[in-house]
Amino acid sequence: MNNADQPLLKLENITKRFKNLTAVNAVNLEVATGEKLVIIGPSGSGKSTLLRSINMLEEIEEGTILFEGREVGYVKHNAKRHLDHPHAISTLRAEIGMVFQHFHLFPHMTVLGNVMEGPLTVQRKSAAEARTIATDMLIKVGLSDKRDVFPATLSGGQKQRVAIARALAMRPKLMLFDEPTSALDPELVGEVFDTIHTLADEGMTMIIVTHHMGFARELADRVIFMESGNFLAQGTADELFSKGQDNERIRGFLNRLL
């Protein structure tokens, strides 16, 4: 397989357990460069755990994560799996950005300082270079006028856009969005979705977990329905939102949200 045919991300039999609960059950997934993948499903189905596992925020019990064709995240000692060296994990997280439900901004730093932090501390950029990158990212998300204020002065939607800018400042090849609007008031959801749409139009590869079905339908190249740690169905948005209705479980889920 040449690089053009090789998926950007490949998961092989990924399993994550919490004591007796299997949160992610032997999941297999390939994500192509430039693909917009949306994962939907009920609360507790394993969607967020899967994203956190991809980004090494949860340690998996079984399976392999391949990024650009190379196995990442783990090494084996005495036949046991261990997280890779912290520097290797940091390097991978620079390539796989993640935006959470809650913004996790540093309250003591300005907006500009928040976005500069990754390039400065992880990538060891100079202050001038980090400032230029952060400024560019704030322009991209429409918040250049907020660069010198502190997060406490921002709306929820603005905070989430700063969080997106902070992830983008690392120049990732893949973006993970974990319910990026679930903590927002309804009137603030649109500005975050507009920012994600802009990234999609620019060709960013992304995996999005969301309960907003309209957004999923209009953005996704592919939609996966996840339940009890398994992929129950997947296809294009039209396939899942129409043919998926033939599945009683999916129909019941969609009818509650659409």
Q: Over pLDDT 70: what percentage of the chain?
A: 97
Per-residue pLDDT at 35 exceeds 70? yes
pTM metric for this prediction: 0.92
Residue 233 located in a structural domain: yes
The pLDDT tens digits of the residues spanning 150-209 come to 999 999 999 999 999 999 999 999 999 999 988 788 888 888 999 999 999 999 999 999
* 57 belongs to a structural domain: no
Question: How does the average pLDDT of the chain come out, rounded?
Answer: 91
Of the pLDDT bands very low, low, confident and very high (cuts 50, 70, 90), residue 110 is: very high
Evaluate whether residue 4 is within a structural domain.
no
CA 204-209-213 angle, 5° bins:
100
What pLDDT is stored for residue 183 in this prediction? 79
131 in any annotated domain: yes
Residue span of the structural domain in which 252 resides: 33-47+97-257
Q: How far is CA 26 from CA 44, 57, 74, 162, 167, in A?
A: 16, 18, 17, 34, 28
Q: What is the CATH number of the domain that holds 222?
A: 3.40.50.300
pLDDT score recorded for residue 78 = 83
Q: Look at residue 1 in the predicted model and tell me its pLDDT.
A: 45
Q: Does 204 reside within a domain?
A: yes
* Position 244 pLDDT exceeds 70: no
Tens digit of pLDDT for each residue in 196-226? Answer: 999 999 999 999 999 888 888 889 999 999 9
Is 23 within a domain? no
Mean per-residue pLDDT for 23-39? 96
SS3 145: helix
List CB contacts of 201: < 8 A, sequence separation 6 or more: none
Q: What pLDDT is stored for residue 131 in this prediction?
A: 96
- Give tens-digit pLDDT for 62-105: 999 999 999 999 988 887 888 899 888 988 888 999 998 888 89
- 3-state DSSP call for residue 253? helix
Task: List C-alpha distances in Å: 242 to 239, 249, 255.
Answer: 5, 13, 12
Rounded Cα distance between 118 and 7, Å, is 26
Is position 232 within any domain? Answer: yes
Domain count, the chain: 1
**CA-wise closest residue to 81 among 177, 154, 15:** 15
Share of the chain above pLDDT 90, in %: 69
In a domain, 214, yes or no: yes
